Amino acid sequence: MTTRVMVDDLRAFCIEALCRAGAKRTHAETVADVLVMTDTWGTFTHGTKLLRDYVKRVRAGGLRSDTEPAVVSSGPAWAIVDGGSCLGHVTSVFAMQQAIERARKTGIAYVGVRNSCHFGGAGYYAWLAAKEGLIGVSMANDIPSVAAAGSRRSVTGSNPLAYAVPTGADPLLLDIASSTVAGGKVYAAFQRGEPIPNNWILDEEGHPSTDSSLYPAKAALTPLANHKGYGIALLIETLSGLLTGAQITWQVGSWIWGDATQPTGHGAAFIAIDIAAMGPRDVFESRINGLIREIHESPAADGVEKVLIPHEREWNLRRHALVHGIELPSDVAGKLSGLAEDIGLRPDWLPHCH
Amino acid sequence: MTTRVMVDDLRAFCIEALCRAGAKRTHAETVADVLVMTDTWGTFTHGTKLLRDYVKRVRAGGLRSDTEPAVVSSGPAWAIVDGGSCLGHVTSVFAMQQAIERARKTGIAYVGVRNSCHFGGAGYYAWLAAKEGLIGVSMANDIPSVAAAGSRRSVTGSNPLAYAVPTGADPLLLDIASSTVAGGKVYAAFQRGEPIPNNWILDEEGHPSTDSSLYPAKAALTPLANHKGYGIALLIETLSGLLTGAQITWQVGSWIWGDATQPTGHGAAFIAIDIAAMGPRDVFESRINGLIREIHESPAADGVEKVLIPHEREWNLRRHALVHGIELPSDVAGKLSGLAEDIGLRPDWLPHCH
C-alpha cells in the first residue's frame, strides 16, 4: 500500500507543517526542498518520513527558529560555520554554498560545521555543488550506533558520506552510511515487521542478530566491511567533529530520542572542487561521459539488465515522480498522517491518521 | 619460513638495485623509503615485494630515469603535476609535498597527478602529511580489475584510498582498496597455494569463486560492499584520472604485465588539510586523544583483546621491526632473491635464489 502525492503538494505540506511549528518560512522551504528531493530519489528512509521528528524539535525549541548559520572563522579555502542550532538542513545548505563560493576562487574549499543537527540525506548537499558544476562531498557525524571493528558496542555514528560529480546531465552521485546499512533501514524493517539479514546488527553480546526490534537500544549496527567502514567513520568524525568544534560520539544528542528542548550539537563537513579551475569544462564532461558509456556497455551479471552508474536508478525514479507523483511507502505515509494530526492539517492526498 | 632483515639493510638493497637499473639515487632513496616503511607496517603485499617489477620497468625504460615530476598548472589551493613517467613514488611524494605547502597557505589543497605509475601503498603519502601536522588523503587509479555492482567483468581499478590524521603520537591511518581485498592479496594466496574466501573474486561468468589462480586473467575482484566500493572507486577515478588528464580504466597500462618499455599513464590525487589553520593544535590533539581513549576503553567483542584504532597494529609492528628487524614472508623473500640474481647482488641476509 503506497500513497501517491505530487511533489508540489508534498513540498507545500512540509513548509506549512514547519511554519506552524514556528520555523521561519525560508528555513521551512529549505528543509522541504531537501526532504522532497530525497523522496523523489526513492530514498524514503531519509526524506519526509523524518519531518514529524524535526517538527517536534522545532516546537520544543531544541531546533531554534530565531537563529541563522554564520561563518565564525575562515581562510582562503576554508570556513567554520556555527549553525546556531537551527534546522541542520539550513546550516548544511549555507555551508555548501560557502564551500562552492570559496572553491571558485581557490580550486577546492572545506567548510566545517558545528552546532548543527541531523541534516537528512547527505546526497542533497553534494548535489548542490554538482548542480553548479563543481564536485561536491558532504558528510556528518551522529550519536554512536555502529560498532568498531572488534568492539561489542556502538563506538561511532553511522556517519554518512556522499559525493556528486557533474556530467552535463544527471550527476554521478553516491550517498552511503559507513555502517553496513543506515539505522533507518533497520528501523523501517522493524516498523514493517520484517526480519533483517544477519550481518546488519550485533546484539548486546556482540553477536550477529536478525531481530530488528533490538535496534537501537540493545544492538549496534555493524561497520561497513568491518575495519574499512570503521576507518571511514573516523575520517568523517575527524572532519565533521574534531576539526569543527562540534560535539563528537556520545556528546552528540539524539535528534530522535533525546530531550527535544536541547540542541544536539551535530557536526558536518562539506568540500567543493571546481572542475573549471583545473581545465576546460567540456574536456572533463567528454571524459566522464566516455567513462559512463564504457560502464553502460560492460557485460552485466546474470539477472542484471544493465550496469548502472551510482544514482542512475534514483535519477530515473525522480523523473517519473516529477510527472506522476511520489509513491510514499506506508511507513512514510503513517508518519506524515501522525504529523498532520499533531498540527491540525488535513491534506486530501493523505490517508487518515494511524 | 620468514627471512629477517634489518631496516637499514633492506633500504640499502632497494637503493642499490634501483641505481644499478639506472634510476637516479634520489629517486631510488624515495622508493626505498616508501617500500621499506610499508614492510615495517607488515603490509607485505605493497612493500619491497614489488621492487623487482619496478626495477624491470626502470631497465626497460617504461619508468624513466631522466625526468622529474613538475607542476604544469596551479591555483591558490590546487596543482596538477605531470610525473614525466618517472617512478610513481617519486611523483607522489612530490605531489603530497606540493599539497602540504599549499594547504599551509589556504587551509586545504588538492594536487592531481598524471603520467605517473603504480605508487606502492597509498598510506605512506597520507602519512607524509600527518607527519607535518596536516590531515592527508591519497588515492590512485589503476587498470580495471574490479567488477562494478551488477557487472560480470572488471570495470574499475582496485583504486586505493588512504588517509592519515596527526595525534601527537602515532597517526590515525587507514589504507584500503575499493575492492573487497586488494588484488595483491589474491595473488599472494595463489603464490602460497591457498584458496580464498568466496566473496573476493568473480569468475568469467560473474559467479563467486575460491580459485585464486583465476585472477587476474579470468576473474574480477568484487567491489567492497558492492555498490559502495564501486561508488568509491569512481570518486577516486574522478579525482585521480578525469580531473588530472591521466589515463583512465582500460587506457592505463599494466605496470606488471604490460609492455615494460612503455609508460603506464597512472593518475593519482593528494589532499592536505591544515589543522593549525582552523584552530589551536593542542585543542585538536586533546580532542582526538580523548576519542582514542574512548575507543580503547570500549568493550571488546569475544576473542578480541582490545578495540584498536586504525593502523595501531601496524605502528606496533613497525616499532618492533625497527629494533628487531622485519620478518619477510617467503613470497617477499623469493621476489627479492630473484631480483638479487637479476642484478648480481648477494646480500648476506637473503637466502639463495628461487
Measured between CA atoms, how close is B25 to chain A, in angstroms? 33
Would you state the cell numbers that stand for residue A352, as one nine-digit string?
487518515
Are B157 and B119 within 8 A, CB to CB?
no
Could you tell me which residues come within 8 angstroms of residue B316 by beta carbon, excluding any fewer than 6 positions away?
none
CB contact under 8 A, A172 and B238: yes
CB atoms under 10 Å from CB of B157, counted, come to: 28
Question: Does B200 lie at the interface with A, CB-CB under 8 angstroms?
Answer: no
Structure confidence at residue A62 (pLDDT)? 98
pLDDT at B353: 53
Check CB contact under 8 Å for B107 and A73.
Answer: no
Q: What angle do CA A73, A77, A82 make, to 5 degrees?
A: 30
What is the overall mean pLDDT for chain A? 96
Query: What 3-state class would DSSP assign to A127?
Result: helix
Answer yes or no: do A237 and B291 touch at CB < 8 A: yes
Map residue B145 onto helix, strand or coil: coil
**Residue from B84, B52, B203, B69 nearest B125 by CA:** B69
**With a cut of 0.90, is the ipTM above it?**
yes
Preferred mutation among B226, B273, B283, B314 to probe A, highest tally of A CBs within 10 A: B273
User: pLDDT tens digits, residue range B110-147?
Assistant: 999 999 999 999 999 999 999 999 999 999 999 999 99
Question: Are A278 and B243 an interchain contact pair (Cβ–Cβ within 8 Å)?
Answer: yes
Do the Cβ atoms of A232 and B155 come within 8 Å? Answer: no
Distance of CA B208 to the CA centre of its chain: 26
Looking at residue A191, its pLDDT comes to 84
pTM exceeding the 0.90 threshold for the entire prediction: yes
Q: Could you please report the per-residue DSSP string of A34-77?
A: HHHHHHHTT-GGGSGGGHHHHHHHHHHTSS-SS---EEEEEETT
Tens digit of pLDDT for each residue in B274-318?
999 999 999 999 999 999 999 999 999 999 999 999 999 999 999
B245 touches chain A (CB under 8 A): yes
Residue A309 in contact with partner chain B when CB distance is under 8 A: yes
What's A122's DSSP letter?
T
Which residues on adjacent β-strands are paired with residue A176?
Answer: A161
Write the CB contacts of B290 (distance below 8 Å, at least 6 apart in sequence).
Answer: none
Question: Which H or E run includes A289?
Answer: helix A281-297
Mean pLDDT across chain B:
96
What does the alpha-carbon distance between residue A181 and residue A204 come to, in Å, rounded to a whole number? 18
- Chain B contact for A133, CB < 8 A? no
Q: What's the gap in Å between the CA of B293 and the closest CA on chain A?
A: 11
B137 to chain A: closest CA residue? A235
pLDDT tens, per residue, chain B with 354 residues: 899 999 999 999 999 999 999 999 999 999 999 999 999 999 999 999 999 999 999 999 999 999 999 999 999 999 999 999 999 999 999 999 999 999 999 999 999 999 999 999 999 999 999 999 999 999 999 999 999 999 999 999 999 999 999 999 999 999 999 999 988 889 889 988 889 999 999 999 889 999 999 999 999 999 999 999 999 999 999 999 999 999 999 999 999 999 999 999 999 999 999 999 999 999 999 999 999 999 999 999 999 999 999 999 999 999 999 999 999 999 999 999 999 999 999 899 998 654
- Rounded CA-CA distance B108/A110 in Å is 7
Nearest in space to A112 (alpha carbons), one of A244, A233, A232, A266: A244
Q: How many CA atoms lie less than 13 Å away from A232 in the CB half-sphere?
A: 27
Residue B199 to residue A7: CA distance in whole angstroms:
41
Count contacts between A and B (CB, < 8 Å).
227
Q: What percent of chain A has pLDDT over 70?
A: 99
Length of chain A: 354
The pLDDT value recorded for residue A353 is 54
Instruction: Catalytic residue, from B27, B118, B266, B311: name it.
Output: B118
One-letter amino acid at A323 equals V
Q: Do residue B75 and residue A107 have CB atoms under 8 angstroms apart?
A: yes
pLDDT of residue B131: 98
Distance from CA of A325 to the nearest CA of B (A): 27
Residue A118 annotated to the active site: yes
A225/B180 touch (CB, cutoff 8 Å), yes or no: yes
Closest partner CB to B308 (pick from A150, A174, A235): A150
Contact in structure between B102 and B78 (CB atoms under 8 Å): yes
CA A230-B89-B317 angle, 5° bins: 45
What is the spatial order of strands in the sheet that A266-274 belongs to? A70-75, A78-82, A108-116, A266-274, A134-140, A160-165, A172-177
Q: Which residues of B are less than 8 Å from A179 in CB distance?
A: none
Q: Please report the residues numbered 1 through 20 in chain B whose beta carbons come closer than 8 angstroms to any beta carbon of chain A.
A: none
Candidates B169, B208, B197, B195; CA nearest to B289 is: B169
Task: Say whether B108 and A112 touch across the interface (CB within 8 A).
Answer: no
Chain A residues whose beta carbon lies within 8 Å of the beta carbon of residue B301: 147, 150-152, 202, 206
To the nearest whole Å, the CA of B151 is away from the closest chain A CA by 4
Which residue on chain A is closest to B151 by alpha carbon?
A: A300
Task: Out of B106, B155, B301, name the one closest to residue A76 (CB).
Answer: B106
Residues of chain A with C-beta less than 8 angstroms from the C-beta of B243: 135, 273, 275, 278-279, 284
- Which residues of chain A make contact with B98, given a CB cutoff of 8 A? none
**Could you tell me if B238 lies within 8 Å of chain A, comparing CB atoms?**
yes
Q: Do A77 and B73 touch (CB under 8 A)?
A: no
The neighbouring-strand residues paired with A272 are A109, A136
Q: Closest to B135 (Cβ–Cβ): which among A73, A238, A284?
A: A238
Identified catalytic residue from A27, A46, A89, A118: A118
pLDDT tens string A168-183 = 999 999 999 999 998 8
Which phi and psi angles does B48 have, rounded to 5°?
Answer: -65, -10
A chain contacts of residue B176, beta-carbon cutoff 8 Å = 228, 231
Distance in Å, alpha carbon of A9 to nearest chain B alpha carbon: 33
What is d(CA A69, CA A89) in angstroms, rounded to the nearest whole number?
Answer: 10
> Is A300 part of the contact surface with chain B (CB cutoff 8 Å)?
yes
Condensed to tens digits (0 to 9), the pLDDT of residues A66-121 reads 999 999 999 999 999 999 999 999 999 999 999 999 999 999 999 999 999 999 99
Whether the pLDDT of residue A295 is over 80: the answer is: yes
C-beta separation of B245 from B73 below 8 A: no
Q: Which domains does chain B have, with CATH numbers?
A: 3-62+324-343 (1.10.1530.10), 70-278 (3.30.1370.60)
Q: Which regions of A159-305 does DSSP assign to beta strands (E)?
A: 160-165, 172-177, 201-203, 208-209, 219-221, 266-274
The continuous run of DSSP H or E covering B219 comes out as strand B219-221
Q: Is the pLDDT of residue A22 over 50?
A: yes
Count the Cβ atoms, other than its own, within 10 Å of residue A246.
27
User: What is the C-alpha to C-alpha distance for residues B331 and B46, in angstroms, rounded to an integer?
Assistant: 12
Q: Which of B78, B80, B176 sits opposite A231 (nearest CB)?
A: B176
Q: Which secondary structure element, helix H or strand E, spans residue B274, and what is its range?
A: strand B266-274
Residues B188, B134: contact at Cβ < 8 Å?
Answer: no
Phi, psi dihedrals of residue B108, rounded to the nearest 5°: -145, 145
Interval A286-304 mean pLDDT: 96
Check residue B354 and give its pLDDT.
Answer: 47
Tell me what pLDDT residue A354 has. 47
- In tens, the pLDDT along A218-253 reads 999 999 999 999 999 999 999 999 999 999 999 999
